[in-house]
Amino acid sequence: MYFTICIPTRNRQRYCIEAIKAIAESEETDFEVIVADNSDDATILDDYFRTQLNDSRFRLLPPESTVLSMVDNWERTMPEVGGRWVSVIGDDDHIDPGVLQLIRRYEREQANLEVVSWARMNYNWPDNRAIQTLAAVPVGHSTHIPDRKTVSNQLYRWSQREKRPAGGFGIYHGAVRRSLMERIKRKYSDRYFEHPTVDFDNTCKVVTEAKAMIFCQRPFSVLGACVASNSASTQSFEAMQKLVDDFYREMGSGQQIQDDDFPFSPKLPGLAIISSIAATTWWFCRKYGVDNDGFQENFAHSAIQECLTSRTAEEYRLKVQGLRIGFEAFEGGKWAALFDPPEEFTPPVSQNQLCGVFKNNMYIRESGLEKIVTPAEFYHFAESFLMPVKHVVSAREVFAA
C-alpha cells in the first residue's frame, strides 16, 4: 500500500459521508482511507459502510466506549495505517487521491524525502456563509525545495510577523512518510500526536525531524468549513465560544493547550486560533529545547495583525483587550509595549467583497456558486483553470525557493 488518508470525525457524519463519496470516485487503487469515528451515534457511519459503501479501500474505526479527545482520535489512526505515506484531512474537507502520483514523482527526484506539502483551496459549505464569503484557489504549479532555516524561523519564531505562522509542512493536508511518524513517536513522549492543537503539534515535529521536504504550488486538497467546523467560528464570536467550550470539555484530564508561563488563553473572545497556535509553538520549543529566540517580539507584531483583520469595531476592541491582558502578564510585561495596536479601527468596507486574482490566489465570491455544494465539487470546478495533474507530475524542473 502506497498512500493512506485518515479522516477523524465527530458528530459530522453528513459531511464525512460526502468526503468519503468524493474520494471513492477516484480511479487510483494504491491507497486506503481510514475513518476514525468519534461520534455519539455510531450507527450512522456504520450503516453507511455496511449498506452503501462497497469499496475495500475504506475502513471504519468505530467509536470507543467513551468520547476521545481530538488528539486521541488522531492517535488511534496511526497503528492502522498500511501506507508508505500518510495524510490527515478533516471530515468536511476533500483530498484528491491523485496526489500520490505527485509524491511518487518527488520520491524519484528527491533523496531522503519525508514530507510533501501542497497548496490548499479554501471553501465554505453553503451552511457556513452567515457573512459574505470568498473561496480561495491557489493558481501556481511550481515545485519548491524550502530553506530549512527559513521554515523554522517562520514556525518557531513567527518571523513573518503575520497573524499565523507559515508552517505548511505536516500530516494535515500534507503527506508524511510513515517511517518519519514512527521516528517521531520514539522521540516525542511515545506518541504520534501529543498536543491538543494536533495539526501544529505535528508540524513542529515534522519540521524539526524531516530529512527532506518539498512543496508544490498546485493545490491537491480543499480545506472545507461547514457550519460546525472550527473554521466556521471565525464568522461568529458565539460559535467560536461554543466550539472552544466543547473542545475543552472533551480534551480530557492531564491535557492543556497553554503552559502556565504563556498567558494567552484560547478562551478569550475571538482569540482561539492565534492563541492555540502560539501556545503550541511556545510549548514545543520549551519542552523540547528548540531555539525560538525572537518569538516574543514577533508574536507581539503578529497579534497586532490579528486585531487588524477584525470584521467589526467591537471584535477589534475585544481582541485588543484580551491580548493586552496577556502581554501584561507575559514574562512580567516585558513585551507589552510592543503590542501597540491603533486606538481607532474602522473595518474595511470591501472585506470579503472583492473577487479576482491577488498574490497567486483566485478569490471567488461563494454566493455565486449556487450549483456547487461540497468541497469536492468545488475542487473539480477549480480544476478547470489549474494545471492538469498529469502535467504537474510529468515535469522535471525543481525550483529552489
Nearest to 63 by CA among 43, 89, 39, 90: 39
- pLDDT value of residue 256: 67
Whether 280 and 259 have beta carbons less than 8 Å apart is answered as: no
- pLDDT value of residue 248: 57
Nearest to 379 by CA among 171, 225, 220: 220
* Residue carrying the nine cell digits 487510483: 28
- Mean pLDDT over all residues of the chain? 90
Residue 106 in 3-state DSSP?
A: helix
Q: State CA 394 to chain mean position distance.
A: 28
Give dist(CA 49, CA 17) in Å, integer.
9
Q: Which residues of the chain have pLDDT under 50?
A: 398-401
- Element holding 375 (H helix, E strand): helix 375-382
Overall fold of domain 3-229+359-400: Spore Coat Polysaccharide Biosynthesis Protein SpsA; Chain A (3.90.550)
Per-residue pLDDT tens over the stretch 240-287: 565 656 655 665 655 666 667 899 988 877 888 899 999 999 999 999
- pLDDT value of residue 370: 87
Give dist(CA 263, CA 328) in Å, integer.
9
C-alpha grid cell for residue 204? 513542529
How many other C-beta atoms lie within 10 A of the C-beta of residue 241?
A: 16
How many other C-beta atoms lie within 10 A of the C-beta of residue 391?
A: 11
Pairing of β 3-9 and β 31-37: parallel
Per-residue pLDDT tens over the stretch 337-353: 999 999 999 887 655 66
Give dist(CA 258, CA 132) in Å, integer.
33
| Backbone dihedral region for residue 112 (phi beyond 0: left; psi -120 to 50: alpha; all else: beta) | left
Whether 120 and 231 have beta carbons less than 8 Å apart is answered as: no
How many other C-beta atoms lie within 10 A of the C-beta of residue 362?
A: 18
Q: Which residues pair with 137 in a beta bridge?
A: 362
- pLDDT value of residue 268: 79
Domain boundaries, the chain: 3-229+359-400, 232-338
| Backbone dihedral region for residue 121 (phi beyond 0: left; psi -120 to 50: alpha; all else: beta) | beta
DSSP 258: S
Nearest to 171 by CA among 135, 136, 210, 145: 210
Nearby residues of 240 by Cβ (< 8 Å), 6 or more positions away:
233, 234, 269, 270, 272
Whether 55 and 24 have beta carbons less than 8 Å apart is answered as: yes
- pLDDT value of residue 227: 85
- pLDDT value of residue 230: 59
